[in-house]
């Protein structure tokens, strides 16, 4: 088993009230099913089978490593799981020949809490290898056995915290749980001669998706008892829990985005969904902690007006570590609100980090730098001189698909705002 990078090991929040509490909306969705407050939350780990060859994709590269906006598909799935602070370990099963590539992805995108194990020749065998890595009886394992284990395909990048919390909460109670979706096509059963034998009533059946979650002992013991036939040809972990553990999994309705990337068309669909999500994430960078900061007002307006927009605000900004963290979150839209300074150097620092980051050059990064200046206190031409640098710099960085725009808002105390638009973004 490969060494795991040192990383903090967050746990599911005790009594769901700790500072690592999942977001409010997530809690509301799962609180009805969560355990009575005050009981210890289960330790949760995840196993990601990523050892397939992606034959149905029809390209040489296994689909989990196919790029979407110049970033491997599996990295989006890892990012989605890493956003969930209460998943303490993520075990990824990859083939030996892809081990180095996987380690490179972990390093390049600064993935945390990841351990790598060798994949098996089938998906079930890959999952079993991942579970073995978590089982306590593994020599020199740095991993600890979780109470609940999530199993999620590495090629299902659009998994959200709420469905993860739902399956984990249900698995704690039922022993096993899995996400399901309505069937799109009707399932039929052909006869030996290739004709229709019968069809299933679509409304009474569901598609089994991922994520799934299990009490660790339930699924580990099921795999240990599993027949070679099931390990070779099986496709359903819930069935193993039923057949070998006599556990009837709780079925949890999942969102439409839980689908598995299987064919090339799925990769195009994944790219458009990722672009749509990128466009809804804005990072506000402010230069003061003042609660009356206009940036806070802007944050409230954005969150109210654009209810799908995710706003990340950073205070105080403009220190290396903060900017590094901001950029590592793969945000493509920045609004820098400067009340205290018109120092253009801070923008240059941000743009330099963006240029050195892993953000795709195929998708534009937009940086809007807003300066509020009381020109009574500072000669207008001095400020303008500083800020006119933006125009030249904007032309320079545009080559790398970074669209930089400056907005100068000067507000003499007794009068209202006058706005000077500085060149940068191409005029809409
Ligand atoms: N021996 C295998 C086969 C599959 N998987 C993983 O199981 C998940 C779902 O499997 P599937 O969609 O079938 O992937 P592939 O087997 O790669 O696809 P194909 O059947 O088209 O070859 C994928 O993340 C895949 O990498 C795995 O870990 N080990
Ligand atoms: O058969 P595949 O390897 O393509 O997919 C494996 C699983 O994702 C699939 O069986 C789900 O329905 C959940 O079990």
The predicted-structure confidence for 350-391, as pLDDT tens digits, reads as follows 899 999 888 998 899 999 998 877 767 767 776 677 667 888
ipTM: 0.98
Q: Are the beta carbons of 317 and 336 closer than 8 angstroms?
A: yes
Residue 297 has pLDDT above 90, yes or no: no
Question: How would residue 342 be classed by pLDDT, with cut points 50, 70 and 90?
Answer: low
Residue 19 has pLDDT above 60, yes or no: no
Judge residue 189's burial from the number of C-beta atoms within 10 Å of its C-beta, 0-12 exposed, 13-18 middle, 19 or more buried.
Answer: exposed
pLDDT score recorded for residue 31:
44
Q: For residue 264, which of 111, 421, 54 has the smallest C-alpha distance?
A: 54
| DSSP symbol at 153 | -
Three-point CA angle 125, 3, 236, nearest 5°: 20
Q: Which two structure tokens, joined as six digits, stand for 46?
A: 């995840």
Q: Which of 49, 66, 75 most suits a substitution to test ligand 1, by most atoms within 8 Å of the C-beta?
A: 49
Q: Are the beta carbons of 222 and 244 closer than 8 angstroms?
A: yes
pLDDT score recorded for residue 402:
95
Q: Are the beta carbons of 114 and 90 closer than 8 angstroms?
A: yes
User: 253 CB less than 6 Å from ligand 1?
Assistant: no
| pLDDT, greater one: 27 or 170 | 170
User: pLDDT tens, 113-153?
Assistant: 999 999 999 999 999 999 999 997 777 778 999 999 999 99
pLDDT score recorded for residue 142:
85
Residue 216 has pLDDT above 70, yes or no: yes
Residue 17 has pLDDT above 50, yes or no: no
Residue 309 has pLDDT above 80, yes or no: no
User: pLDDT tens, 394-415?
Assistant: 999 998 999 999 888 877 655 5
Alpha carbon of 115 to those of 4, 10, 129, 146, 337: distances in Å? 5, 15, 12, 14, 39
Whether residue 157 has a cis bond before it, omega within 30° of 0: no
User: 123 CB less than 6 Å from ligand 2?
Assistant: yes
Question: How would residue 304 be classed by pLDDT, with cut points 50, 70 and 90?
Answer: confident
Q: Which residue has the tokens 């029809």?
A: 58
Residue 34 has pLDDT above 80, yes or no: no
pLDDT score recorded for residue 313:
73
Q: Which two structure tokens, joined as six digits, stand for 171?
A: 């698995």
Ligand 2 atom nearest to 260, measured from its CA? 8
For 136, residues 6+ apart whose C-beta sits below 8 A from its C-beta are: 144, 145
Distance of CA 194 to the CA centre of its chain: 43
User: What's the whole-model pTM score?
Assistant: 0.85
User: 236 CB less than 6 Å from ligand 2?
Assistant: yes
Question: How would residue 10 be classed by pLDDT, with cut points 50, 70 and 90?
Answer: very low
User: 188 CB less than 6 Å from ligand 1?
Assistant: no
What is the C-alpha separation between 51 and 64, in angstroms, rounded? 9
What is the C-alpha separation between 256 and 185, in angstroms, rounded? 15
Q: Which residue has the tokens 């090991």?
A: 9
What is the C-alpha separation between 77 and 80, in angstroms, rounded? 5
User: pLDDT tens, 154-187?
Assistant: 999 999 999 999 999 999 999 999 999 999 999 9
Q: Tell me which residue has its CA closest to atom 5 in ligand 2.
A: 235
pLDDT score recorded for residue 223:
98
For 107, residues 6+ apart whose C-beta sits below 8 A from its C-beta are: none
User: 208 CB less than 6 Å from ligand 2?
Assistant: yes
């Amino acid at each position: 088993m490969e060494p795991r990078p040192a990383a903090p090991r967050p746990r599911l929040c005790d009594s769901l009230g700790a500072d690592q509490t999942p977001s409010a909306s997530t809690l509301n969705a799962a609180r009805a099913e969560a355990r009575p407050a005050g009981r210890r939350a289960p330790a949760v780990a995840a196993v990601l089978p990523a050892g397939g060859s992606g034959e149905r994709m029809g390209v040489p590269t296994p689909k989990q490593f196919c790029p979407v906006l110049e970033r491997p598909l599996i990295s989006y799935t890892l990012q989605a799981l890493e956003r969930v602070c209460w998943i303490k370990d993520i075990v990824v099963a990859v083939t030996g020949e892809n081990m180095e590539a996987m380690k490179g992805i972990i390093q390049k995108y600064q993935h945390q809490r990841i351990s790598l194990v060798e994949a098996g020749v089938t998906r079930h065998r890959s999952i079993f290898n991942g579970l073995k890595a978590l089982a306590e009886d593994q020599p020199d394992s740095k991993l600890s056995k979780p109470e609940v284990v999530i199993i999620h395909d590495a090629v299902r990048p659009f998994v959200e915290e709420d469905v993860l919390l739902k399956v984990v909460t249900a698995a704690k109670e039922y022993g096993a749980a899995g996400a399901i979706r309505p069937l799109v096509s009707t399932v039929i059963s052909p006869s030996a001669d290739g004709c229709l034998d019968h069809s299933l009533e679509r409304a009474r059946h569901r598609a089994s998706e991922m994520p799934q979650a299990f009490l660790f002992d339930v699924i580990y013991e099921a795999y240990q008892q599993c027949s070679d036939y099931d390990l070779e040809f099986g496709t359903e972990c819930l069935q193993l829990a039923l057949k070998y553990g006599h556990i009837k999994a709780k079925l949890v309705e999942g969102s439409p985005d839980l689908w598995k990337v299987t064919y090339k068309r799925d990769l195009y669909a994944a790219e458009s969904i990722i672009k749509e999500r990128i466009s809804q994430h804005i990072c506000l960078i402010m230069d003061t902690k003042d609660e009356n900061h206009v940036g806070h007002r802007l944050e409230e307006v954005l969150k109210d007006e654009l209810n799908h927009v995710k706003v990340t605000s950073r205070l105080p900004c403009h220190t290396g570590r903060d900017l590094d963290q901001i950029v590592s979150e793969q945000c493509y839209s920045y609004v820098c609100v400067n009340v205290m300074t018109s120092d253009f150097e801070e923008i240059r620092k941000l743009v330099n980090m963006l240029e050195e980051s892993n953000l795709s050059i195929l998708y534009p990064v937009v940086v809007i730098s807003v300066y509020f200046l009381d020109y009574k206190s500072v000669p207008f031409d001095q400020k303008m001189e500083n800020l006119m640098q933006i125009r030249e710099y904007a032309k320079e960085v545009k080559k790398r698909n970074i669209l930089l725009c400056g907005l100068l808002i000067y507000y003499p105390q007794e009068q209202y705002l006058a706005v000077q638009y500085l060149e940068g973004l191409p005029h809409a």
